[in-house]
Amino acid sequence: MDETSFRIGIPGGERVIVPRTAKELYTPSPENRLSITILETVSANGGTIPPVLVVPGKIHMDSWNHENLLGTELFLLSETGFSNTQLALQWLQHFIKHTAPHEDLKLLILNSHISHTSYDFVIATAKSNILIYTFPSHLTHILQLLDIGIFQPYKHWHREAVLKAIRDMDLDYNLSSFIRDLLNIKEQTFKESTIISAFRKAGDKGGDAAQAAKCQPSAKLNIAQPRRLRPTTPTPTTPTTLPLRQLTPKPSSFKDSEQGLQRWKTKLTGLLSSPSQKSYNNWLTSTEEVLASGQLQQFDLQVLQRQVQEQKKGKGRSRARLQVGGELCANKAHELQAAKAELQAQKALAKEARVARQAANQARKQLRRVGVEARKQERLRKKRVKALLRAGNPIPPEDRDPILDPEIGPEPGSETKPSSEPEPSFEPSFELELEPGFELELDPGSQLARQLQCELEQQLQCELE
């Protein structure tokens, strides 16, 4: 068992092939310098147990639990991001859980850190039938197989993951991105052949006393020798010459290059022979196409750089929490995420129902206001009709049809037609029974005559319709 640290967004340098004229070359890199500790454990048969990640902080964040995790990884919190005595005990429980539950004695090889030799740690290993062997001080770089043959490719594949993210324009490479790539990094690193080879290399170095002696710090002192000064010879002075004025200005942009081409096209027209002029025109056209393509690429690059800057400045980060303090396994984190998602879905459904109720109440209130206004207008219409009938004036077409109440609505099967009967409130209070052949003479200007004439007109209108 051994631990190693990762700086999340620091990929390190890489070798690239560039033109000889390029003196300096820079590539953008993530600015996340967060450092975490990972505790890894391997066995002599090439096996491994799930890693333990020690993350600086006090709260387990929801963004750490990526879907690529197997579910057996363990997350521990530390204010510094490094392991301590308490975290070592939690790792030991994780080790006991994932090792074979048999009564055979198990050998645990690890460094001599104070957290690995505490009383609680030793007692817990003795109860679980585990024998501890610690390396001597200052010899882990020779005897620790993880340092010899595993952690170097571990860091290499982490660097490759960060560089791939940079090429994919994922410049915000944070802890969530590292956890997303952790499974692929471990698959490339912790191969059975790599682990067995690391055990073999550690055994060869540990058994060779001469090799161990070579790896020890030398006690010899390197005495700096005095530097010899070389005689300086005076350099001959050369007369200064004034630079000649350039006839054609040096282009500094695509626009300057295009203008220069057009200028030379104007000057050379008519000076070249026909074949040379044709070749020159073909070259000029191709050059203009290349310049236009380069200008478009430069524009696309500027747009892409602007998008990257906006992504770095305004990219929202999830601050959802899963658990405060303690240890958290990836399986439990998945369960907490599922429960949280279900709770959020219930809240969303409740919100939708609440919004629907509010909309229904608002529509009901609006309908009530419209109904009140309709009843008010109906009362006013009846008053106008009553006044017109009393005065013996004809009823205008807009006042003949009653105004419906939207809260009540029309009766089923009924149609709104002009009524041929007088309003219920204006029915006569008495009826006349006349004998057959009886003729009634009315004064043309009387109210009764006008009312009868109005009723006859309404009946005729209904028959015509």
Per-residue pLDDT tens digits of the chain, which is 465 residues long: 899 999 888 876 667 776 666 666 666 666 667 889 999 999 988 889 999 999 998 888 888 888 888 889 999 998 888 888 999 999 999 999 888 666 778 889 988 888 888 999 999 998 888 899 888 887 777 888 888 889 999 999 999 998 888 877 777 788 888 999 999 999 999 999 999 988 888 875 544 545 545 555 443 434 345 455 455 555 555 555 544 445 567 777 777 788 888 887 787 777 777 788 888 888 888 888 888 878 777 777 777 777 677 666 655 556 788 888 888 888 888 888 888 889 989 999 999 999 999 999 998 898 888 888 988 988 998 888 888 888 888 888 888 888 888 877 665 555 444 444 444 444 444 444 545 554 556 566 666 667 777 777 777 666 555
Q: Is residue 244 part of a domain?
A: no
Q: How far apart are the C-alpha atoms of 176 and 63, rounded to whole Å?
A: 6
CB 322 within 8 A of CB 61: yes
CB 402 within 8 A of CB 381: yes
- Are 322 and 443 members of one domain? no
Tokens of 419: 């009524």
Tokens of 55: 């993350």
Q: Is residue 289 part of a domain?
A: no
Q: How is residue 42 annotated by DSSP?
A: B
Residue closest to 57 by CA, chosen among 76, 74, 87, 77: 77
- Are 178 and 85 members of one domain? yes
- Are 152 and 184 members of one domain? yes
Per residue, the 3-state secondary structure of 59-125, as one string, reads EEEHHHCCCCCCCCCEEEEECCCCCCHHHHHHHHHHHHHHCCCCCCCEEEEECCCHHHCCHHHHHHH
- Are 337 and 204 members of one domain? no
- Are 57 and 194 members of one domain? yes
Q: How far apart are the C-alpha atoms of 406 and 369, rounded to whole Å?
A: 10
Last residue of a domain, one of 293, 326, 359: 326
Range of the domain at 338: 332-429+439-464
CB 55 within 8 A of CB 78: yes
Residue closest to 61 by CA, chosen among 302, 289, 246, 320: 320
CB 419 within 8 A of CB 400: yes
- Are 418 and 321 members of one domain? no
Residue 410's contacts (CB-CB under 8 Å, 6 or more residues apart) are 404, 416
- Are 155 and 7 members of one domain? yes
pTM value surpassing 0.75: no
Q: Is residue 219 part of a domain?
A: no
Count the neighbouring beta carbons within 10 Å of the beta carbon of residue 2. Answer: 20
Instruction: Note the pLDDT of residue 424.
Output: 46
Last residue of a domain, one of 282, 301, 326: 326
Between CA 224 and CA 230, with CA 227 as vertex, the angle to 5 degrees is 170
Our count of domains for the chain comes to 2
CB 325 within 8 A of CB 59: yes
Last residue of a domain, one of 326, 353, 387: 326
Output the domain CATH number for residue 96: 3.30.420
CB 110 within 8 A of CB 116: yes
- Are 166 and 183 members of one domain? yes
Count the neighbouring beta carbons within 10 Å of the beta carbon of residue 178. Answer: 25
Instruction: Note the pLDDT of residue 39.
Output: 93
Q: Is residue 269 part of a domain?
A: no
How do beta strands 106-110 and 130-134 pair? parallel
- Are 29 and 55 members of one domain? yes
- Are 321 and 454 members of one domain? no
- Are 204 and 337 members of one domain? no
Q: Is residue 41 part of a domain?
A: yes
- Are 321 and 395 members of one domain? no
CB 119 within 8 A of CB 90: no
Instruction: Note the pLDDT of residue 123.
Output: 92
Q: Is residue 97 part of a domain?
A: yes
Residues 106, 107, 111, 113, Cα dihedral to 10°: 50
Instruction: Note the pLDDT of residue 418.
Output: 47
Instruction: Note the pLDDT of residue 207.
Output: 47
Q: Is residue 73 part of a domain?
A: yes
**How would DSSP label each residue in 378-405?**
HHHHHHHHHHHHHHTPPPPGGGTSPPP-
Q: Is residue 385 part of a domain?
A: yes
